[in-house]
Structures are given as structure tokens and as C-alpha cells.
Amino acid sequence: MTAATDRSRRRGGTADRHAWIDYPRRGRRGVRRWIPSWRLVLGGALTGAGAFLGLFALVYSQVDIPSENALAKQESNVYYWADGSHMVSVGTVNRRNVPLDKVPVSLRDAAIAAENADFYSDSGVSLRGIGRAVSSMAGGGEPQGGSTITQQYVKNTYLSQERTLSRKVKEFCIALKLDNRTSKDEILQGYLNTSWFGRGAYGIQAASNAYYGVDVTELDPSRSAFLAALLKGGNSYDPALGAANERRAKERWSWILDRQVELGMMGAAERARYTVFPKPLSRSVSTNLSGQTGYLVDLAKRYVKKRTGLTDADLDRGGYQIHTTFEKDAVRKLERSVRAALDRGLDPEARKEDRHTQVGAASVRPADGAVVAVYGGPDATEHFANNADTSGVPAGSVFKPFVLAAALEHGVRAKDGTTVPVSPESYYDTSGRLSAGVPALGVPGTVPPTPYGLPATLRMATVLSSNTTFRRLGADVGYRRVEDLAVAAGMLRSSMAPHDEEFPLGTSSPSAIRVATSYATFANDGVRHEPYSVTAVVRDGRRLSGLERPQGSRAMGKDVARSMTSVLSKGRLLAGPDRGTDKAGAASVSATDVAGTSTQQNETQRAAWFAGYTSELATAVTLFRSEPGGPLLSLVGLGKEESTRGSLFPTRIWYDYMGSVSATR
């Protein structure tokens, strides 16, 4: 055997030397057997690149430019009352196409500088953008941005707004073909006419009117830079939506102007003229959203976005049929009751103490959590904040029932560390110990009787809203347990106040909707249903998922809830008709099982409430005084009647409304 033959055998023989893939490598030992040769690496890379190009060529040949049918389908969103009747149509696409020669050069430059600096020289696509999309999808995330103006135009005009890899690939292919067949000016014109700018505005003409009330031809470079900033996201850069938005808008406006200088689109001297941010007009609301309708639509929209994932941009495209839980008759009766009470008791023109008075109210169905009616303010086109869903108004005494409910549910901690069970008839004796049972009047060691000749049990302390008793009871139960029960009943954790000695007295600030929801839990034997305002959303005959009726959860024992109803039924008798409410309203609900309580009058009062329920409906009404953007004002002196301090009005509204609505349910 020759040396060459021996070497050939050691290397695996002649056949092995001519194998297509020498891996693991013959004739190598240890780790070196697994290190590929440069020929293998290069061959693999070329093969992979060829396969990718072949696949891309196949996809490119299969994808063609579809018809421009997306814009032709734009229409309004229709909202329906609970009975299926038409409430309002809103969201008709606010768009009017304009030719590119009507669009100021400053606006074209601003859009290009902001979104795609090399628009006129690129091939219509961004390899970096598609690379990020592939990488993000491979990692389990959503495709990222970075699209060219051409790609954005393709997405707006020919494709859906879904964020999937397949849609991104189609966008890439169509953009390439469109760039080969269409002029850059035509693409830019289409892009500016189809882009969403917020405020329901599609296209630059609609945006110019929505933000500045002028025709697009009247825009100067400063305003143009702001509108170009909105291309990144109308809801993130509209200053009318909050201070954070305004800060972002100013920063991007300034950057876009600087970017134009950097790209040679604007001289430094001209840039120096634009130092003051061109703040747009205040956000406007269509007149068909006047009265309570705007508040109802706002609640429904926010619920739909939360449950379905739809965005404002999606909804502004239109075509959605939104079925709500709002009852037309209940909404109108609640509004009428509020206005009647305020007209009767206030005279803001003659009395400064009556000015800036606001009311918020909400009705929730205990059986399932449906929001039946709200009163958000006098008119949604004039008073934008929804008083039924606002925070910052302390609950006061309407929070105290949840302190008692927590005590009934958990008991209180005794000094020796044991847990003492609690009933509505428990009372604090002179030693500070919470005892069970009703003490005999005059028995030494008990607290003095109340003005009504009854012992100061927890039941009576609730009825009379005893601050002393509830400070002590809240501390004995534990502030965390009180908060947990209130949240379980329906209040939001974010509305809870700090845990100090005033916490049990109602320093937390839940909205009227959340107070009504929490009282509805008492009415529903301790089972809480999350408030909901939309039952279905339909588009193109397809029902969107995510709007199934919320399931109930137990917040407290049935016996605890029924004990609270017993306690609050007596509170209703003392806080309702016997304290000045309309006799007709009180009489109309007197035959039903009504439970409720109100805030009590004091010299520092900043808000007044009445919250209560029947077996069919829970309603909360709040009244406060505040100027736009200012703190709550004192209620002292409010109303023509002396020393009412506002507490009378929520009670009147509640009884008048509940009396009228209960008669027809």
C-alpha cells in the first residue's frame, strides 16, 4: 500500500473526498471536525440568499396592486340605545381630497422631513423597516415602524391596518410596484389625502380645518410643521388632549423645522422666525353630540377601545354599529331631574355662592352591571369633562357603608389579638370595646343614647353618619381591609385615598359610576358586576369579540350585603323625604325596597352626595362647585334655603329621578 493510498483511506477515501458536503469534516479531530470550512460557509450563504431571492421573486410576482377600495368604504359609526333604536350617527370620515399643487411647499417639505427624508430618491421601500418587522415577528413581537411614505400610502389605501408579517410583506411588494408605475408627486398627494391626523380628520385639508380653521392653502411653515408632527400619531400630539401631548407636540414641531434646515429645505434665517409654537384651536365637538349624547358616546367609545383593542384611528374610519346599555327614557328623566332641582334651588345670576355648580350622576343595573343612564354635565359640547366619570370629588359619608361592611365581613381586632365578630347592633362601650347586642338605655358603662332615644349602635352610627364611630371602626377593622372591600364592591384602587384616620370618613374620590356600581353590589346580595356600557359592536356583518358580558364576582357574603341593605333602608328614611326632598318623588318609590345614604352638612364641605338603590337600579348623585381647571369650592351658602350647603340637591335629584324611572320599569 502506497503512502498516498493510506492518506486517502485516513481521510475517508476517494468517494468521501468528492462528497458534496464534508461535514462533520473528515480527517479532523476533536472540535476541529465541527468547524465548517470557508467553502461550506460561503456555499451556505449563497444558497440561503438564492433561496430568499427566489422566494421573494415568487411572492412579488403573485402580489399585484389592488383596487383603491378602502377609502370608498368610509362611513359613520352608529350608536344605538339599549332598545335597539338609533341614538346618533357620528364619525363620518372628515376628508376632502386636494391636488398637490394646492398644498403649500412648506407642508410637503415638513411631511418629507418628518417621515421620509429621501422620499424623492428611494425605491419606495425601506429594507431597514422590513428587517425590523421580520426580526420583531421572529421574536414574538409586533412588526415595527420605519415605513417610507410610499409604504404608508399603500397601507392607508390598499391594505388593512393589522400589524402582521404577511401584511408587511404585501405592503413592501405593492410599494415597489407602485413606485415603478406612479410618479412621486402622485404618491405624495395620495399620502397627504389619506393620512389620519386625529380629531376624526383624514387628509391634510380636513386636518387644516380641524386644527386651525383655515384652508390648507393658508398654512405657513410653522403650522405646516405642527401638522406634519401629527403624522406620527394624532392622539399623541394633539395639545388639546393634555399637557404631555402639548410637550411632545412642541418638541416634534421644533425638530421638524430644524430637520428642514438640515436637509436644505429651509434657510437658517427663515427658521429663526418660528420660535412660538402655533397652538391649534381648542378641541371641538360636533353639535350632534350635544346634551348628554356626547357623554354617552365618550363612555361607549372608551369601553370599546378597552375591551376590543380598537384605536381612535380605527373608529374614525367608520362603519361600526355600536349597541349600548343606555336606556333613552332613563337618560332623559335623569337629565330632567337634575335640571329641575338646580332651577328650583339655585340662582347663579343673583348669588355668587350658586355659581360654578356641577352635578354628576349614574345609574347601574345590579343584576349585571349595565350602565343604564348618566348625567355628565349640562352639555357635552360646552362642558367637556364627564362629571359622572370624574375623579377628585371626595365621597364623604357615602363611603362609610363600606367600612361597616368590612367590619361585618371580617370582624375587628381586639386588644388581645383576637377577632371580634360584628353585627349592626354592635356598639362601643365607654371603655372603647366593641360589643354585640343592643344595650339597655341608662345601663352604666354604655354610651349615651342618640337624640332619637336609641343606643348608638353601628346601625345608628351609619344612619347618623357618626365620624367618631367610623374613625374608630375603620382603624379597628384595618384600613387595608376597608379598601379591599370597597374595591371588590366596584371602586377603583386608583381612587383610594391615603390610609390615615380620615380615610374611613370618605376622603377617597370614586366616580359616580363607581359609587353606583358599589351600591349595586349591596343590592345584588354581595356579587359585583363590572360596569359595562356596550353589548355589541358590528362591522361588515361581523361581531367583534371582547364584549361578552362581564362575569360577576363575590365581594362580600350574602348575609353581609343583606345586613347593609337593612341598615341603609333606615338611613334612607332619615336622609331622604324627612330631610327636605320632594314629597312626590319620595312617595313614588316608597312602596319599593329603597336603601341609601347621603353626605352630611359641615362647614368645610366641598361635595355632596346621595347614593342608594332598589332591587332593580342603583343610582349615585354628586354635586360640587369648581371652575374649569380649578380646585373644588366651598358649598357653604349654596342654594336659596339657609344652611343647606348643597346636601339637599343630590337627595332631591335622586328621589325625583328614581321615583319617575321606577314607575315605568
Higher pLDDT, 637 or 370: 370
Cβ neighbours around 613 below 10 Å, total: 28
pLDDT-derived band at 130 (thresholds 50, 70, 90) equals low
36 pLDDT higher than 70: no
100 pLDDT higher than 70: yes
Distance CA 85, CA 226 (A): 41
Residue 20: per-residue pLDDT: 58
Distance CA 357, CA 346 (A): 9
Q: Report the pLDDT averaged over residues 395-410.
A: 96
Residue 638: per-residue pLDDT: 84
Residue 441: per-residue pLDDT: 43
* Average pLDDT taken over every residue of the chain: 82
Segment 612-633, tens digit of pLDDT? 999 999 999 999 998 877 888 8
DSSP conformation class of 612: E
Segment 158-201, tens digit of pLDDT? 765 555 566 666 777 787 788 888 899 999 998 998 898 988 88
- Residues in CB range of 171: below 8 A, 6 or more apart: 147, 151, 154, 155, 159
Segment 539-597, tens digit of pLDDT? 888 999 999 999 999 999 999 999 999 999 865 544 444 343 344 444 455 545 677 78
pLDDT-derived band at 147 (thresholds 50, 70, 90) equals confident
pLDDT-derived band at 125 (thresholds 50, 70, 90) equals confident
The helix or strand, by DSSP H or E, that contains position 642, with its residue range, turns out to be: none
Q: Are 463 and 574 in contact (CB under 8 A)?
A: yes
Distance CA 396, CA 476 (A): 19
437 pLDDT higher than 70: no
Residue 154: per-residue pLDDT: 83
Share of residues in the chain with pLDDT > 90 (%): 48
Which domains are assigned to the chain? 3-62 (no CATH), 94-271 (1.10.3810.10), 396-489 (no CATH)
Residue 308: per-residue pLDDT: 92
Q: Could you give the residue ranges of the DSSP H alpha helices within 182-242? A: 184-194, 204-212, 221-229, 234-237
Q: Are 204 and 226 in contact (CB under 8 A)?
A: no
- Using CA atoms in the order 429, 435, 437, 440, what is the torsion angle rounded to 10 degrees? -20
pLDDT-derived band at 77 (thresholds 50, 70, 90) equals confident
Residue 161: per-residue pLDDT: 52
> Which of 133-142, 244-253, 437-446, 632-641 is predicted most confidently?
244-253
Residue 581: per-residue pLDDT: 39
What the block records as the C-alpha cell of 141 is: 413581537
Share of residues in the chain with pLDDT > 70 (%): 74
Q: Which amino acid is at 363?
A: S
Distance CA 299, CA 297 (A): 5
Distance CA 288, CA 92 (A): 12
Q: Report the pLDDT averaged over residues 519-544.
A: 95
SS3 labels along 243-304: HHHHHHHHHHHHHHHHHHHHCCCCCHHHHCCCCCCCCCCCCCCCHHHCCCHHHHHHHHHHHH
435 pLDDT higher than 50: yes
Higher pLDDT, 133 or 584: 133
Q: What is the Cα gyration radius of the chain?
A: 34
Residue 411: per-residue pLDDT: 92
Residue 585: per-residue pLDDT: 43
16 pLDDT higher than 50: no
Q: Report the pLDDT averaged over residues 494-511.
A: 96
pLDDT-derived band at 25 (thresholds 50, 70, 90) equals low
pLDDT-derived band at 472 (thresholds 50, 70, 90) equals very high
DSSP conformation class of 11: T
Residue 587: per-residue pLDDT: 45
Segment 270-309, tens digit of pLDDT? 999 999 999 998 865 555 788 999 999 999 999 999 999 8
10 pLDDT higher than 70: no
The helix or strand, by DSSP H or E, that contains position 341, with its residue range, turns out to be: helix 328-345
Cβ neighbours around 214 below 10 Å, total: 13
User: Is-above-0.85 flag for pTM?
Assistant: no
663 pLDDT higher than 80: no
358 three-state secondary structure: strand
Residue 395: per-residue pLDDT: 94
646 pLDDT higher than 50: yes
Residue 464: per-residue pLDDT: 84
- CA distances (Å), origin 465, targets 403, 446, 516, 549: 12, 19, 19, 36
